[in-house]
Amino acid sequence: MISAALRFFARFAIPVSSAGILVGLIAPDLAAFLRPAMEVFVVVLMTLAYSRLEWSGIRTLFEKPLLTAMILLWVLTAVPGLATAAGLAFTLPPILLTAIILNAIAPPITSSVPYCQLLNLDAELALRVTLIATLMMPITVPVSIFVFLGVAVDLDPTEFAIRAAVFIGLPLSLSWLIRRNPNLMARINRGDDTAGVMAFALMIIAVAIMDGVTARIAANPTEALGILAAAFGVSILFHGLSGLVFWRTGERTAISIALTGGSRNLVLMLVIIGDTLGPAFGLYVAIAQVPIYLMPALIQSIWRTRRGKTAARP
């Protein structure tokens, strides 16, 4: 029965994980119940994702440093600049503009790695960019906030080190131990079971992050709709431009970059600096999860269409 359930989750990985947002909104008690377990599922998800990677691919960082540097420059510098310009052009309210800029300067979301795996994209590339961008946060985030917002923010190095150890170091360490055990690796490599667990973890995370959002939306639905529209606009801009800018690198690479550069780790950003920005940024982070979870479904459709056209060519 468990295997059948995992096969179901694996087969419908993207819609299942996306459905977690709706479940969290219509079942706020369940979201509150699962919220304390969210961090555990993040570690499980990333451990499985790292375990399934071909780690030899990470060494291409030193073989193709120019491509990696260009992606990081685009993700961490060009995108925030474009987001700032777009926000100013549309004369967005200062609080919403601040949230969008913070969205843009956040590192790629760690779930871009398992999403790339689920979509058969370049997960090794997603890992390199995500890992480097996250480790650079203590430098890039304060500098970017000062440049694009004109505000000096001091990051707590101890808090950041602890969270980096938990959400980056722990999954990497556990995956290293797993890869040294042939029996465990044999079980991990059973595609449907592992993909099913990863999809289930993504769904639980989506439910948990909606904790408290239903009440806040009910209290001010107009504000919530405005944030949702802005979050979708930002997401489409980030994903679309990231893919187009790197399209000449090849379709698979470009779509991988679009998925990686389009969705950002707002949760980690909220944990580090969110307390100083009030509840508005917290609401933006929660609502922005909707396009974060739905965009992979759109990218999956585009990727399958492109592969179908390529296969149909004589």
Per-residue pLDDT band at 302 (split at 50, 70, 90): confident
Mean pLDDT score, 290-313:
75
Distance CA 26, CA 211 (A): 11
- Checking if the pLDDT of 113 tops 80, the result is yes
pLDDT per residue over 169-182, tens digit each?
888 889 889 888 88
In order of 5, 54, 151, 273, 312, the CA distances from 292 in angstroms are: 25, 25, 27, 20, 31
Mean pLDDT score, 156-169:
73
Two tokens at 116? 């790339």
Query: What are the backbone dihedrals phi and psi of residue 207, each rounded to the nearest 5 degrees, phi first?
Result: -65, -45
Q: What does the pLDDT read at residue 110?
A: 81
String of DSSP letters for 47-90 = HHHHHHS-GGGGGHHHHSHHHHHHHHHIIIIIHHHHHHHHHHHT
On whether the CB atoms of residues 261 and 292 are closer than 8 A, the answer is no
Q: Which stretches does DSSP call E strand in the chain?
A: none
Q: Where are the domains of the chain?
A: 2-308
**What's the CA angle centered on 44, arms 276 and 198, to 5 degrees?**
105
Mean pLDDT score, 152-164:
68
Residues 114-142 as b/e (b if ≥16 CB within 10 A, e otherwise) read bbbbbbebbbbbbbbbbbbbbeebeebbb
pTM to 2 decimal places = 0.80
Mean pLDDT score, 50-56:
72
Two tokens at 268? 């980690």
Query: What are the backbone dihedrals phi and psi of residue 264, each rounded to the nearest 5 degrees, phi first?
Result: -115, 155
Two tokens at 19? 């459905």
Q: What does the pLDDT read at residue 275?
A: 58
> Which of 3-7, 122-126, 276-280 has the largest mean confidence?
122-126
The CATH architecture to which 2-308 belongs is Up-down Bundle (1.20)
Query: What are the backbone dihedrals phi and psi of residue 288, each rounded to the nearest 5 degrees, phi first?
Result: -65, -15
> Which amino acid, one-letter code, is at 161?
A
Q: What does the pLDDT read at residue 58?
A: 57
Q: What does the pLDDT read at residue 74?
A: 95
Mean pLDDT score, 106-121:
86
Sign of the Cα pseudo-torsion (15, 19, 20, 21, in order): positive
Per-residue pLDDT band at 76 (split at 50, 70, 90): very high
User: CB-side exposure of 72: number of CA atoms within 13 Å?
Assistant: 20
Per-residue pLDDT band at 192 (split at 50, 70, 90): low
